Amino acid sequence: MVDGTPRIKVRRVEKPPYVVDESRLRRFNSRNIVFERVMWDPSWEGYRRMYDEKVLDIIAEGKPGYSRLDFALSYASWIVRDGFEGGLSWTKIKPYRPPLVSVGIDWTKMRYDVDDPHEMSAYIKWAGRLIGASLVGICKLNRLWLYEDVEIPERFENVIVMAIEMDAEAIETSPAVPATIATGVGYSKMAFVLACMGEFIRNLGYDALQCGNDTALSIPLAIDAGLGELGRNGLLITPQYGPRVRLCKIFTDLPLESDKPIEFGVREFCKKCKLCAEHCEAGAISMDDEPSFEGVCRSNNPGALKWYVDVERCYLFWCENGTDCSTCIKVCPYNRASMLTRASGDREGVTPGGILKGML
């Protein structure tokens, strides 16, 4: 570590670098996500509170980073994610008009024979990055990570997990509005990437279920897929971008080869660092030296060894701030480290011309 910046040395491991108490950990019910509880749970202070409820008053205060221009762009940044139904489609997307020049081939009726799941996986990673994903990993579906109120057929055994980098300069302004623009753009990019990748898989004759934050827990799936480790701030820490990413995933029956998880010392670093907890204006991040199996609010899922984030406090701060917050991402030393060090992973990929090294 130099000046508080961790040095990153990644190694592949056989098992995901998390610890669970199998006697306690249960599938999480999406009804208990804090955004859902806003609408149905009168037992907490955030019930029926919207985090834009004070926006007009905040604009009138004239604070830098909270102007009418900033909010206008912030709301615009979400439009592809919020307005494009195809982004989270589980079936073939119907274009609003047919291609101008086409004989109308239905690619979904012609299944592509996958002779080598390794090469298919390499092509998937190359395609995902070409389309716009910053990171792509693959894992088998651990059904413990599916939401309790969601079931998908057994044939969907593979998960393609993708991370979208958020703009570093915008995140540096958190908790001001420009940081939320980076978040919105991240989600809109997710919708585009998911739609393209889902259609690609369906055009091979297989099924694809495209998911953002819905259907299953994204972070443990990303850990299983070798994209990073869990940090004190409750977010995925990647070697390439620290926690400055948004996650999405596709469940599929396409034959694929899984990636191994990675370790690069996040938990031990987080034990000592605590910068995210010190800078959290909501007081939502634990200052404890050691992680725990105990949750701190209803929107936590106890039974995994980690620092649990009080997302109730986090959401209430959003209501006061007029928008969401990324300060725990901004101050994380792994952001600085990611700008100094690029981890080396599986760098082999496939293109239509064959296997090319150095693409992925």
Mean pLDDT of 93-111: 80
Query: How far apart, in Å, are the Cα atoms of 144 and each of 75, 245, 283?
Result: 34, 23, 30
**In 3-state terms, what secondary structure has residue 29?**
coil
Average pLDDT value for residue range 132-149 = 98
Position 352 pLDDT exceeds 60? no
State residue 354's pLDDT score. Answer: 39
- Over residues 133-141, the mean pLDDT reads 98
Lowest mean pLDDT segment, chosen from 123-132, 214-223, 253-262, 331-340: 331-340
Name the percent of the chain lying above pLDDT 90.
82
The helix-helix angle for 68-77 and 177-203 (nearest 10°) equals 10
Would you say residue 242 has pLDDT above 90? yes
Q: Is the pLDDT of residue 319 over 90?
A: yes
Residue 340: the pLDDT is 55
- Residue 344 pLDDT greater than 50, yes or no: no
Question: Could you give the strand order of the β-sheet that contains 158-165, starting from the edge strand earlier in sequence?
Answer: 135-140, 158-165, 245-252, 208-211
Using 50, 70 and 90 to split pLDDT, how confident is the model at 7? Answer: confident
What's residue 94's pLDDT? Answer: 83
Confidence band for 99, pLDDT divided at 50, 70 and 90: confident
Nearest CA to 296 out of 279, 273, 313 is that of: 313
pLDDT category, 104, cuts 50, 70, 90?
confident
Per-residue pLDDT for 231 more than 70? yes
**Pair 176, 251: CB distance under 8 Å:** no
Distance of CA 251 to the CA centre of its chain: 15
101 confidence band (pLDDT: 50, 70, 90):
low
Mean pLDDT of 260-271: 96
What pLDDT, on the 0 to 100 scale, is given for residue 107? 85
pLDDT of residue 4: 74
The per-residue pLDDT for range 180-217, each reduced to its tens digit, is: 999 999 999 999 999 999 999 999 999 999 999 999 99
Question: What torsion, rounded to 10 degrees, do the Cα atoms 74, 75, 80, 83 define?
Answer: 170
Q: What integer pLDDT is reported at residue 321 of this predicted model?
A: 96
| Placement of tokens 């939401």 in the chain | 147
* Tokens coding 298: 């209803």
Asked if residue 157 lies in contact with residue 126, where contact means CB atoms within 8 angstroms, the answer is no
Radius of gyration of the chain from its Cα atoms, rounded to whole angstroms: 21
Mean pLDDT over 54-58 rounds to 95
Residues 6+ apart with CB under 8 A from 45: 312, 316
Is the peptide bond preceding residue 175 cis, with omega within 30 degrees of 0? yes
Mean per-residue pLDDT for 7-19?
A: 92
Please list the residues that pair with 355 across neighbouring strands: 350
Q: What is the mean pLDDT of residues 211-237?
A: 97
- What is the structure's pLDDT at 338? 63
Mean residue pLDDT of the chain comes to 91
Residue from 141, 174, 142 nearest 158 by CA? 141
pLDDT at residue 346 greater than cutoff 70: no
More confident residue, 96 or 20: 20
Percent residues over pLDDT 70 in the chain: 92
pLDDT of residue 343: 41
- Name the DSSP letter for residue 27: P
pLDDT at residue number 3: 61
Instruction: Compute the average pLDDT of residues 234-251.
Output: 97
Q: Tell me, what's the pLDDT at 336?
A: 74
Q: Give the Cα separation of 246 and 189 in Å (integer).
A: 9
pLDDT (0 to 100) of residue 356:
31
Task: Give pLDDT, residue 93.
Answer: 85
User: Which residue type occupies 337?
Assistant: A
What's the pTM? Answer: 0.91
